[in-house]
Amino acid sequence: MSVEIEQKKYRNFINGEWVPSNTGEVLESRNPADADEVVGYVQKSSKKDLDDSVKAAKGALRSWKKRSSVERGQYLYKVADILESRLDEVAETMTREMGKTLPEAMGETARGVAILRYYAGEGMHKIGDVIPSTDNRALLYTTRASLGVVGVITPWNFPVAIPIWKMAPALVYGNTVVLKPASETAVTAAKVLQCFQEAGFPSGAVNMVTGPGSVIGQAIIDNKDINGITFTGSNETGKRIGQGALARGAKYQLEMGGKNPVIVLEDADIDLAVEATISGGFRSTGQKCTATSRVIVHRSIYDQFKEKLLYRIDEITIGDGMNEGIWMGPCASESQLNTILSYIQKGKEEGATLIKGGKQLTDGPFEKGYFVEPTVFEHVKPEMTIAQEEIFGPVLALMKVDSIEEALTIANDVEYGLSASIFTTNIQHMLSFVDDMEAGLIRVNAESAGVELQAPFGGMKQSSSHSREQGQAAIEFFTSIKTVFIK
C-alpha cells in the first residue's frame, strides 16, 4: 500500500520545489465514477506550510514586479504551450478526479490554455491614462501597482480554468501567488502547477499548498503578508473570507453561488430553448455556478416545452465520463450527491411534483459511483426551497407564468444574481430583460452557462462581492491605481 501511495503522491509547490507537508499526512482524492479508485494523494498541510509559501511569495515579489509586464507575459505563453502539450493527461486527471466527461474536461483545459495566452497578451496593453492637469507645466497620469502576494482559493468544479483565470492575471500584473485548490481536485491542480514549474518561473513567484479549507484557507485569511484574496466557491465560505479580509484590511474578491433562471416566452424558438435548458441544466451534472436551475415558461407553450424537454432527457447517457458516448458523469463527491438527494427530497416534501428522475443510480456500472438521474419538478412555487437555494446538481424547477412581468418578478425573487437567460424573438422583451433582470451575466437566446474569457464575469446580489473577473476587468482586482503628478 505504501508503495502505491508513494507513486501517486503529490507534494506542495513552495519556493520552486515540490516539498512534503511538515504534518507527514496526506489526503486521498477518489474517482467519483468509481470510488474504489484513488486518483492520487495530496498533502494534508498545516498553517506552517502555508506560512512558508507566503514567505517564499513575499521573497520573490520584488524581482518579479521589477520585470516588465511584457516579460512576465512571456512566462504565461510558455505555460500555455506546456499545458497544451499535456492537454490529454490533465483532462483525463480532471475527469477521473471530479467526474465531468472527458470532452468537457478537454474543453476546459483548452480554455485554460486560451486564458493563459490572453493574459500573456494583456502584458502589452496600456495600464493608465494621461490626464490634463490644471498646471500646464505638469504631467498628470495614472499607472498601476501590483497588490503584492495574492492568495487564490478555488473550488472543484472548474479545477483548471478557475485557478488559471485567477493566477494568470495576478502574475502578469506583477503579483506573486499562493494557490490553495479544493482538495477534491488537488491532483489536477498539481498537474497545472507542474506546467508553471516547467515554464521556469523564478522560485517563489508561484506556490501551491493543499489541505483542508478550514486550515489552509483560514491561514490565507489570517496571514497579514497576503495583500489580496481571490476566492470562488460557496457563499458560506465566501462570507467568512470577506469578513476576515475586511478585518485586516486585505483586498478581496468573492465569486459564489447562483440560482440561474431561464425564461421561455410565448414567441420563443422552443427547440432552441429546450436544447439550451438541457445543456445549461445537466452538463457537468449541473455543477456549474452558471447552471440552469429554474425554468420559467409561458403558459401558452408550457405543455409543448415540457414534452420536448422530457423527451430529450431520455436521450441523456449517464456513466463514467471517461467512456465514449457518455454525456453526463457522476456528482463530484459523495457529499455532493447527498446534498442533491436531500434537495430532491425537500422538493417532494414541500409539494412540488416530480416528473422526471429523482433517484440515485446504484446498479451495474453505477454501483461504485455517485450517480443521480437528471431530475425535473413542476408545480414549483417561487418560495419553495428548490426554487430558492443553490442545489448544484442536475435538478430543474419548472414554473408557469402568464407574462414577462410575472416571469421577471419570479426570476429576481432569489438572493442570487449570477446568470440569467431568456428565449424570445421579441426585441421589446429582450430589452426589458436586459434592463430588469438582476444578474451579472445576461444571455438572450443562449443557455445560462456560457462564459467568454475576454469578457467580464461575475454576479450581482449574493453571488459576488461585486467585483468582476476575466477579460480586462481582472486588472481592477489585481492592481491598484496610482495617480501621478510630476512637475
Cα 355 to Cα 106, 256, 370, 396, distances in angstroms: 33, 29, 22, 10
What three-state secondary structure class fits 42? strand
253 binds ligand NAD (CB under 6 A): no
Cα angle, residue 409 at apex, residues 403 and 410 outer, rounded to 5°: 95
Answer for the pair 209, 45: CB distance below 8 angstroms, yes or no.
yes
233 binds ligand NAD (CB under 6 A): yes
257 binds ligand NAD (CB under 6 A): yes
Q: Which residues are catalytic?
A: 255, 289
Which positions ≥6 away from 173 have C-beta within 8 Å?
69, 144, 146, 474, 475, 478, 479
Chosen residue from 43, 53, 188, 232 binding ligand NAD by CB under 6 A:
232
Answer for the pair 126, 152: CB distance below 8 angstroms, yes or no.
no
Of 174-182, 322-330, 349-357, 397-405, the segment contacting ligand NAD by CB under 6 A is 174-182
Nearest approach in angstroms of CB 215 to ligand NAD is: 8
Choice between 250 and 256, CB closer to ligand NAD: 256
241 binds ligand NAD (CB under 6 A): yes
Residues 210-229 as x/- pattern, contact with ligand NAD by CB under 6 A: ---xx--xx-----------
Nearest approach in angstroms of CB 169 to ligand NAD is: 14
Of 8-16, 116-124, 152-160, 338-346, the segment contacting ligand NAD by CB under 6 A is 152-160
234 binds ligand NAD (CB under 6 A): yes
Which positions ≥6 away from 336 have C-beta within 8 Å?
287, 370, 392, 393
Nearest approach in angstroms of CB 473 to ligand NAD is: 13
Answer for the pair 223, 201: CB distance below 8 angstroms, yes or no.
no
Sheet hosting strand 34-43, strand order edge to edge: 9-10, 34-43, 26-31
Dihedral pair phi/psi, residue 17, rounded to 5°: -135, 150
Choice between 277 and 336, CB closer to ligand NAD: 336
Answer for the pair 478, 146: CB distance below 8 angstroms, yes or no.
yes
Answer for the pair 340, 374: CB distance below 8 angstroms, yes or no.
no
Per CB under 6 A, contacts with ligand NAD among 274-333 are: 289
Choice between 182 and 420, CB closer to ligand NAD: 182
Nearest approach in angstroms of CB 31 to ligand NAD is: 17
Residues interacting with ligand NAD, by CB under 6 A? Answer: 153-158, 180-183, 213-214, 217-218, 232-234, 237, 240-241, 255-258, 289, 390, 392, 418, 459, 463
